[in-house]
Structure 1
């Protein structure tokens, strides 16, 4: 008899890759969706007929209890979140309702309906914020620097509390930045690769970005969802850092992205006056705008995945350069298709 899995946030980047993985493993996959006036399957449009969708909301515990009863899930993957850091400053209460209290609601639903169900909580490297040591591990003290990081830290600790207090099989994956072709356009990585494609095709002059010196540990979502699944296949529940142990600046991401489109970037100036110039044409293609700086910056994130590698047998397979290349190629194809449709 096949296992049942329930995924919150199934239409997002991670949810879609995880759904594909679980379907390949022979699971019956259930996904939670919020009811909207227009049905939007997001990143699972291509596999929607293979998924059982349930209307529910992370802020409504009754709907989550119902989702557990319908799915009879053996594994729950909580990927639903208000996951954009910048928005968490504009909507701190909504972020807390979904990313903090929503986790408690899901845990209560599991405890009420099927306490033997295994639970995965999507924690984040943003909980480290003002980092206390390099690199960050499972034992590094937390110091979140945004409403998003604070809300996620609550979700992380409540998961640990339910594990220790009620004996639930509950794990948190402290995932560092992971991107893909399915990343939303509001995230800086996808903003960059989309802009690269539009600049390449001559439909955009330049892209405005924030802190070019911010350093992040970037991996591919497809690798990271495999780690989520592995956590719930272990004999004992635990928390794991999932990362690449490599850090790159936003500037490096920009250079790599343009390089994959055949454009070489040269830099002039510094700080808010820094610009990137197309070496071949001399035109400005990157500029810095202070409005994209965070109220409290997280300057560097670098994760050590040694525990996940040794205990889970997990290994990152997609390199940084391959990640960026996949994103750029995807956006080049999307923009080319968009332009062809406009000219029909």
Structure 2
């Protein structure tokens, strides 16, 4: 039966970037929903599949090599797999690293997104596509919660690349009728977070203090505020967006803003310690530009799709400290 006529009973999902935090949790969620899950990384033979293994699903997913910034690689993958749903979670994920590697950041995020969209247009495929956006695109919200209608003001190479990808998705949806949408994701955490992220650095630092290995915690600017959520909840929102009758962009966030200083305090509470340790603000961890305050209003996705974050910041920190994966 031709691809454009119907999908098989077992729906196939392709997750670009399956070996990352979100990719692993999304793969587990889709497997539980009865999907055939195919995941990609640049080199499937040498990719770090430890997160898939930690969730106990490494043997349940199919891994392929795919370079999002290579049109032919994307074309080959989509033509052979014929996914009903495509989740583009690939590309550079670190704001800090984007200042050091801005070209790689733009190519991996913006060029990769464009190739997925253009291949879908070229094939005339009915595949529904989710693209991972970022609340970083809004810049500093000045203590006013951003909504889907808030103008972008990116202040990092990462945010510029994500903003570019967002408008590419919007253009292909409007110009070519492709079912594609962007989930504008606020910060979301779990024990699967890479070590370079500040939240994981805090958890590991407090663990070292609890073990008596050090007596200080070195961080960058503690006076920043973010909307932190629980990653396993956020992948449910991604999936739900592709089940909607109409493709639409949504802000995926908890709606609660917490300071990094409070995140540190909660980490000490999780360890059963008093935060009397010397917390040092180290200039080497500061970025060329940073957002002081980022607040999000996720009321639209709650109203349209019935999705709402439930895990509180204190629960997030405790789960990270205890390495709870669910």
Would the TM-score normalized by the shorter structure come out above 0.5?
yes
1:12–1:42 contact (8 Å) kept in structure 2: no
Partner of 1:100: 110
1:133–1:140 contact (8 Å) kept in structure 2: no
Is 1:85 aligned to residue 95 of structure 2?
Answer: yes
Task: Measure, in 2, the Cα distance between the counterparts of 1:315 and 1:60.
Answer: 36
Q: Point out the more displaced range, 43-52 or 217-226.
A: 43-52
Structure with larger Rg: 1
Pick the aligned partner of 1:55 from 65, 85, 90: 65
1:122–1:173 contact (8 Å) kept in structure 2: yes
Is 1:158 aligned to residue 159 of structure 2?
Answer: no
1:179–1:218 contact (8 Å) kept in structure 2: yes
1:131–1:143 contact (8 Å) kept in structure 2: no
Pick the aligned partner of 1:294 from 287, 290, 310: 287
Is 1:170 aligned to residue 163 of structure 2?
Answer: no
Is 1:315 aligned to residue 325 of structure 2?
Answer: no
Task: Measure, in 2, the Cα distance between the counterparts of 1:44 and 1:219.
Answer: 21
1:78–1:120 contact (8 Å) kept in structure 2: yes
Task: Measure, in 2, the Cα distance between the counterparts of 1:174 and 1:53.
Answer: 26
TM-score, with normalisation over the residues of structure 2? 0.93
Unaligned 5+ residue runs, structure 1?
A: 266-276, 279-283, 332-344
Residue 133 to residue 248, structure 1, CA distance change in 2 (3 Å):
closer
Residue 132 to residue 258, structure 1, CA distance change in 2 (3 Å):
closer
Q: Point out the more displaced range, 34-43 or 242-251.
A: 34-43
Task: Measure, in 2, the Cα distance between the counterparts of 1:139 and 1:258.
Answer: 37
User: Across the two proteins, how many residue pairs are aligned to each other?
Assistant: 315
Deviations 1:232-252 (A, max 9, x none): 001000000111111111100
Partner of 1:20: 28
Partner of 1:184: 194
Residue 103 to residue 234, structure 1, CA distance change in 2 (3 Å):
same
Residue 300 to residue 76, structure 1, CA distance change in 2 (3 Å):
same
Deviations 1:192-225 (A, max 9, x none): 0011111111123322101101000000001110
2:141–2:295 contact (8 Å) kept in structure 1: no
* Cα offset, 1:40, TM superposition: 2.2
* Cα offset, 1:110, TM superposition: 1.9
Deviations 1:160-199 (A, max 9, x none): 0000010000011011010111001100001100111111
Partner of 1:324: 317
Pick the aligned partner of 2:207 from 197, 209, 229: 197
* Cα offset, 1:64, TM superposition: 0.9
RMSD (Å) for aligned C-alpha atoms = 1.5
SS of 2:131 mapped into structure 1? strand
Task: Measure, in 2, the Cα distance between the counterparts of 1:133 and 1:319.
Answer: 20
